[in-house]
Amino acid sequence: MENIIGREKEIRRLDRALEEKEAQLIIVYGRRRVGKTFLVNEYFKGGFSFKFTGSFNQSTSEQLRNFWYEINRAAKKDLPLPKNWTEAFSMLRDYLETCSTGEKQVVFFDEMPWMDRQKSGFLPAFEWFWNSWGSTRKDLVFVVCGSATSWMTEKIDHNKGGLFNRQTCRLFLEPFNLYETEQFLNARDIYWSRYDIVQCYMIMGGIPYYLKLLNKNASLNENIDMLFFRKRGELWDEFDHLYYTLFTNGAQYIKIVKALSKKKAGLTWAEIIGKTGLPGNGALTKMLANLENSGFIRSNDYFGHKKREKTYQLSDYFTIFYFQFIQDNNGKDEHFWSNMTDNPARLAWAGLAYERVCKDHLAQIKRKLGISGVMTEVSAWQKAGNEEEEGAQIDLVISRRDRVINLCEIKFVSGEYEISKEYDLRLKNKVRLFVETTKTNYTIQTTMITTYGVKKNKYSNFVSKEVDMDDLF
């Protein structure tokens, strides 16, 4: 497993599963391209008693034919073509019984959601196989994997039928964090500054598949141009692939994320309905839940507000980058990103993207603040302006059980951040408005999260706590 970067807790959980004396049904799911198949293959070193991979958008007859090829190859027999999935699982059972040695038998079904075509009978057949035979085999480890997180969650993890509470191990793979991203790049002989790594993360997130495409002999800007803006670059059509392979009604999901991409603070339920034209019913609730479970959006609560007033914010780095820069520029300028170095649009994007990076590294921020063991609630806060007074917004509020609130200001700059007289006044006004509006009696700590720290001057003393870029790694 020397090829696996990170994934320590997942490896420990798989180790525990293999030590159990009962049959194991292990589900592995997460966003497309996050490295699920790689983890399973590397952990088990390819030592599967049987492995089968579903095919995207193929008919049930084609899926069964593919299964037939694999079972014949594994059994080294000329078995008849199964007429349905019940016959297919019966063949699998017969094969596993004949090759049982008392050692663990590992079966791996990859991209299982693609096997479950409408009226295919796949899921009932799998339920029958597992409940009637598989669950009784102390030597059986059955690993199911899929990128369609909504299907994996609904059909397997939260199954209310024959698979209810049957899974014994559940692994949801998150994208790499910044530290793991740095490890991954270094393992591929890419030694960039942390400033460049953060910028790379703001475009690709911690998605191993995207990071694997980076050329170690090119700069960050050159890589982004080659992958995204060159005609027929390797990721030029990734956006459509991403949404249409994950969700059966991909066009509706794209409507939602496109609407969210136009407002950085996010949209409420009612605003999503108004922007997309989608009906405000259970289908929309399910789509939002699927997007959140898949890591494409996050729901944010506003400090002091009721839960029902939360907003939905686009959080997938690649999707945000696509709508802002790729959608209208792909193939038009093959050096688009290199030519955007000092463009105001790029600088504004970087500032907002760094806020998302910080929200995805709250554990690291809490560690730097010395509150890793303190219970916290994270939210945002804003106050609308009027004719008499400007509004104010704080993107990250950390409310602590020890009756302290960290009001976090996030700045992405290429050097130390220098607080000017004007910014000092705005910052103090934000804190004043927050205290007056929320009527909190907690201690307020003004916290700056920057790239290289805050430059010491006569205005920097108002800052109580600092977190810099290195602290996020």
Q: What is the pLDDT of residue 134?
A: 93
Q: What is the pLDDT of residue 158?
A: 66
Q: How confident is the model at residue 163 (pLDDT cuts 50, 70, 90)?
A: low
* Dihedral angle of Cα 164, 165, 171, 174, to the nearest 10 degrees: 60
Q: What is the pLDDT of residue 32?
A: 86
Residues constituting the chain: 473
Q: What is the pLDDT of residue 109?
A: 97
Element (H, E) at 275: helix 269-276
Burial group, residue 218, by CB count within 10 angstroms (0-12, 13-18, 19+) = middle
pLDDT above 80 (res 246)? yes
**75: CB partners within 8 A, 6+ apart:** 95, 98
Across 86-90, 294-298, 402-406, 464-468, least confident range: 294-298
Element (H, E) at 93: helix 85-98
3-state secondary structure at position 131: helix
The 10 Å Cβ neighbour count of residue 45 is 8
Dihedral pair phi/psi, residue 369, rounded to 5° = -75, -10
CA–CA gap between residue 288 and residue 320 (Å, rounded): 17
Task: Look up residue 112 and give its DSSP letter.
Answer: G
pLDDT above 60 (res 313)? yes
Residues 365-391 have pLDDT tens digits of 999 999 999 999 998 898 887 777 788
Q: What is the pLDDT of residue 157?
A: 66
Given a contact cutoff of 8 angstroms between Cβ atoms, the answer to whether 275 and 307 are in contact is no
Given a contact cutoff of 8 angstroms between Cβ atoms, the answer to whether 109 and 26 are in contact is no
Helix, strand, coil in percent for the chain, rounding step 5:
45, 15, 40
Given a contact cutoff of 8 angstroms between Cβ atoms, the answer to whether 125 and 160 are in contact is no
Q: What is the CATH number of domain 8-173?
A: 3.40.50.300
pLDDT above 80 (res 165)? no
Give, in order, the Cα–Cα distances in Å from 17 to each of 111, 153, 167, 308, 389: 21, 20, 11, 39, 59
pLDDT above 90 (res 472)? yes
Question: Residue 198, by phi and psi: left (phi above 0), alpha (psi -120 to 50) or beta?
Answer: alpha
Give, in order, the Cα–Cα distances in Å from 177 to each of 201, 204, 353: 9, 12, 15
Higher pLDDT pick, 329 / 279: 279
Q: How confident is the model at residue 331 (pLDDT cuts 50, 70, 90)?
A: low
DSSP E strands, 214-296: none
**383: CB partners within 8 A, 6+ apart:** 391, 392, 393, 433, 434, 437
Share of the chain above pLDDT 70, in %: 96
pLDDT above 70 (res 351)? yes
Residues 133-160 have pLDDT tens digits of 999 999 999 999 988 777 777 777 666 5
The 10 Å Cβ neighbour count of residue 39 is 23
Q: What is the pLDDT of residue 168?
A: 79
Across 64-78, 129-143, 382-396, 441-455, least confident range: 382-396
Give, in order, the Cα–Cα distances in Å from 79 to each of 74, 93, 372: 11, 13, 58
Higher pLDDT pick, 359 / 160: 359
Q: What is the pLDDT of residue 273?
A: 95
Count CA atoms within 13 Å of residue 473 on its CB side.
Answer: 16
Across 259-273, 325-339, 446-460, least confident range: 325-339
Residues 22-40 have pLDDT tens digits of 999 999 988 889 999 999 9
When the candidates are 1.10.8, 3.40.1350, 1.10.3470, 3.30.230, the CATH number that belongs to 361-472 is 3.40.1350
Encoded tokens for 5: 């970067």
Q: What is the pLDDT of residue 264?
A: 84
Q: What is the pLDDT of residue 237?
A: 86
For tokens 């024959």, what's the residue? Answer: 162
∠ Cα 303 441 385 (to 5°): 45
For tokens 């420990």, what's the residue? Answer: 12
Given a contact cutoff of 8 angstroms between Cβ atoms, the answer to whether 231 and 251 are in contact is no
Dihedral pair phi/psi, residue 347, rounded to 5° = -65, -40
51 beta partners = 108
Has domain 239-325 been given CATH number 3.40.1190.20? no
CA–CA gap between residue 213 and residue 210 (Å, rounded): 5
Domain spans of the chain, in order of start? 8-173, 178-236+330-355, 239-325, 361-472
The mean pLDDT of the chain is 91
CA–CA gap between residue 422 and residue 436 (Å, rounded): 21
AA identity, residue 470: D
CA–CA gap between residue 191 and residue 216 (Å, rounded): 8
Q: What is the mean pLDDT of residues 352-371?
A: 96
CA–CA gap between residue 199 and residue 315 (Å, rounded): 15
CA 462 from centroid of its chain's CA atoms = 36
pLDDT above 90 (res 328)? no
The 10 Å Cβ neighbour count of residue 403 is 10
Share of the chain above pLDDT 90, in %: 74
Residues 175-217 have pLDDT tens digits of 999 999 999 999 999 999 999 999 999 999 999 999 999 999 9
Q: What is the pLDDT of residue 218?
A: 97
What is the pairing mode between strands 404-410 and 443-449? Answer: parallel
CA–CA gap between residue 77 and residue 98 (Å, rounded): 12
Across 11-25, 254-268, 283-297, 327-341, least confident range: 327-341
